[in-house]
Amino acid sequence: MSDSQRRALGQLWDQYGLEVSDGPIDLREQFAKDQPVTIEIGFGMGDSLLEMATEEPSRNFLGIEVHKPGIGHLLRAADERELANIKVYANDSVKVLGHCIPDASAECLQIFFPDPWPKRRHHKRRLISRGFLDLILPVLQHDGVLHVATDWKHYAEEITALLHGHDGFRVTDIPWRPKTKYELRGIKLGHKVTDVAVRKI
């Protein structure tokens, strides 16, 4: 972690950070304004979250990430831009979704380029699974969108089958999203990017 990322975490956590709680929190009380919520899981260095929060001040953005340098990077940039529509959990999304986020509280949940775990013996570590979708479903509002992107062919097939095959979702148009850091690396390597989006029924 760079010095400035560490400093940002120390100085700005109280302003932007949320702690894991035993039960669901009232998301409306966490943000300056009561407006629709987008959740981004695994935001990495936070560039996509930052761009969306800047472009869409009439939405609130809740990021969930375990990578501390990325969280520090995001907090520093959010502070520089004086953004009041971002909050962050520095914890495992399984724990955060399972314990802290109330039912029907998010209009959109996005997961851009989850770790692909390319080796077959590591596939079981992949974040997107039937069990994980069952954690996401209650958190979304009716008609809420789940948007996932990946640049790994096998994972793309797995994600498409899981999302399209889940009876709690229907297929929908792919929303706009910014390009991410991990995506640009994949594109340079010649990877094809797949976006999958579904809506809660």
CB of 201 to ligand SAM, least distance (A): 25
- Is 115 annotated as catalytic? yes
CB of 35 to ligand SAM, least distance (A): 23
CA-based nearest residue to 87, from 150, 133, 26: 26
Nearer to ligand SAM, 35 or 54 (CB): 54
**What Å distances lie between residue 1 and 67, 73, 109, 130, 183, CA to CA?**
10, 9, 27, 34, 22
**38 backbone φψ class: left, alpha, beta (φ>0; ψ -120 to 50):** beta
C-alpha span between 89 and 17 (Å, rounded): 6
| Given 1, 94, 135, 193, the residue binding ligand SAM (CB under 6 A) | 94
Nearer to ligand SAM, 38 or 180 (CB): 180
C-alpha span between 146 and 200 (Å, rounded): 8
CB of 132 to ligand SAM, least distance (A): 9
Catalytic position from the list 14, 26, 103, 115 = 115
Residues in the chain, total: 201
Supply the DSSP symbol for 192: P
Stretch touching ligand SAM by CB under 6 A, among 52-60, 99-107, 179-187, 189-197: 179-187
- Residues 23 to 52: which contact ligand SAM by CB under 6 A? 41-44
| Given 65, 78, 148, 152, the residue binding ligand SAM (CB under 6 A) | 65
Q: In what order do the strands lie in the sheet with 140-150?
A: 17-18, 86-89, 60-64, 37-41, 106-112, 140-150, 194-200, 169-171
CB of 78 to ligand SAM, least distance (A): 16
CB of 83 to ligand SAM, least distance (A): 18
- 70 lines the binding site for ligand SAM (CB under 6 A): yes
- 112 lines the binding site for ligand SAM (CB under 6 A): yes
C-alpha span between 69 and 8 (Å, rounded): 10
- 72 lines the binding site for ligand SAM (CB under 6 A): no
- 114 lines the binding site for ligand SAM (CB under 6 A): yes
By annotation, the residues acting in catalysis are 115
Per CB under 6 A, residues contacting ligand SAM are: 41-44, 64-67, 70, 92-94, 112-115, 127, 180-183
